[in-house]
């Protein structure tokens, strides 16, 4: 009996994803595994300097060393967890800010909606990376500023998704029944509508996450993110670009890691969007 017939007979709906999606899931799973077990996987202290500068890959340093004599492999492993952590933190800030703004704006009425979504449109009018640059320059550069700046710059995406889903759900009978029973607009929004918005927000999170990781890397590359000794992918790329001819391995390693993980996350996000939003035509990959 085939898997499809078992699925029909047993009532199970097994996920049918493309091979590329499965490859993307495996790559992201490997990145998460490396992030969690990085202290066990490193072969050298990722922060330790040595006299062995710009060495090519060898038995002692499997990915070579950078211009400071630091082990590229150990810094890449450590940077995987840091880059994912900072990117995910920024995406979570965007989710909570955007979700709350969207729900409060719709629940509090037309005046609140006009004011709050006026601010949303103002932020959307600026490119995300440009807004983040202006925010970080206005405040003190650092990890917290980067996370908050990226969270604010991507929050409009979640606010718009929340508003669209809110309008769909308010047309359903259960919201009318809740209002008849005396529920306030805020209670309807946060108790009855929010659970139905969660799926769309999670899907949007999967789409925004790779953009946050790339944006954090760009800001670190420009020297506005983490401190120079912190081995995030962006900081590693920034440090190695001046020595590309002498140590191409030092810049290629973080670039390949960044490209693989962000592209894989984008594929997964597109797959989730397709499944949660059938009105969107699937992008052929």
Provide DSSP, 75-133.
HHHHHHHHHHHHHHHHHHHHHHHHHHHHHHHHHS-HHHHHHHHHHHHHHHTS-HHHHHH
CB 13 within 8 A of CB 7: yes
202, part of any domain: yes
14 has pLDDT over 70: no
46, part of any domain: no
Tell me what the mean pLDDT of segment 175-200 comes to. Answer: 74
Placement of tokens 């992201």 in the chain = 28
139, part of any domain: yes
Residue, of 172 and 62, whose pLDDT is higher: 62
Name the band, by pLDDT with cuts 50, 70 and 90, for residue 28. Answer: very high
Region at 256 (left for phi over 0; alpha for psi -120 to 50; beta for the rest) = alpha
Name the band, by pLDDT with cuts 50, 70 and 90, for residue 94. Answer: very high
CB 156 within 8 A of CB 162: no
Length of the chain: 285
228, part of any domain: yes
Domain total of the chain: 1
C-alpha angle 85-198-275 in degrees, rounded to nearest 5:
90
257, part of any domain: yes
**What pLDDT digit, counting tens, does each position of 115-126 carry?**
888 998 888 888
Tell me what the mean pLDDT of segment 169-194 comes to. Answer: 73
Assessment of whether the complete model's pTM goes beyond 0.75: yes
d(CA 38, CA 80): 8
140 has pLDDT over 90: no
Ranges 56-60, 165-169, 184-188, most confident:
56-60
13, part of any domain: no
9, part of any domain: no
Tokens of 6: 């078992």
Tell me what the mean pLDDT of segment 7-30 comes to. Answer: 73
219, part of any domain: yes
In CATH, what number is assigned to the domain containing residue 244? 1.10.3720.10
| Domain region containing 245 | 72-276
Which pLDDT score, from 0 to 100, does residue 10 have? 47
Q: Residue 229: which residues within 8 A CB-CB, separation 6 or more?
A: 47
Which pLDDT score, from 0 to 100, does residue 136 have? 84
């Amino acid at each position: 009996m085939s898997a499809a017939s078992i699925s029909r007979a047993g009532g199970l709906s097994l996920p049918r994803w493309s091979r590329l999606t499965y490859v993307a899931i495996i790559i992201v799973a490997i990145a998460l595994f490396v992030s969690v077990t990085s202290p066990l996987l490193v072969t050298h202290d990722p922060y330790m300097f040595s006299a062995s500068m710009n060495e090519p890959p060898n038995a002692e340093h499997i990915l070579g060393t950078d211009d400071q004599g630091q082990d590229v492999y150990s810094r890449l492993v450590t940077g995987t967890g840091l880059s994912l952590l900072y990117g995910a933190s920024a995406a979570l800030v965007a989710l909570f800010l955007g979700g709350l703004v969207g729900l409060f704006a719709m629940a509090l009425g037309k005046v609140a909606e006009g004011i709050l979504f006026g601010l949303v449109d103002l932020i959307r009018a600026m490119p995300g990376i440009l807004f983040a640059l202006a925010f970080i320059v206005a405040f003190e550069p650092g990890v917290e500023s980067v996370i908050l700046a990226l969270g604010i710059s991507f929050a409009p995406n979640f606010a718009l998704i929340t508003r669209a889903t809110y309008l769909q759900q308010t047309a359903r009978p259960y919201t009318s029944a809740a209002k008849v029973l005396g529920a306030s607009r805020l209670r309807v929004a946060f108790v009855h509508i929010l659970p139905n918005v969660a799926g769309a927000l999670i899907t949007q999170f999967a789409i925004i996450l790779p953009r946050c990781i790339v944006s954090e890397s760009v800001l670190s590359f420009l020297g506005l993110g983490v401190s120079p000794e912190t081995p995030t992918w962006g900081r590693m790329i920034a440090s190695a670009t001046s020595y590309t001819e002498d140590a191409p391995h030092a810049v290629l390693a973080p670039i390949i890691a960044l490209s693989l993980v962000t592209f894989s996350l984008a594929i997964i996000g597109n797959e989730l969007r397709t499944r949660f939003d059938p009105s969107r035509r699937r992008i052929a990959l």
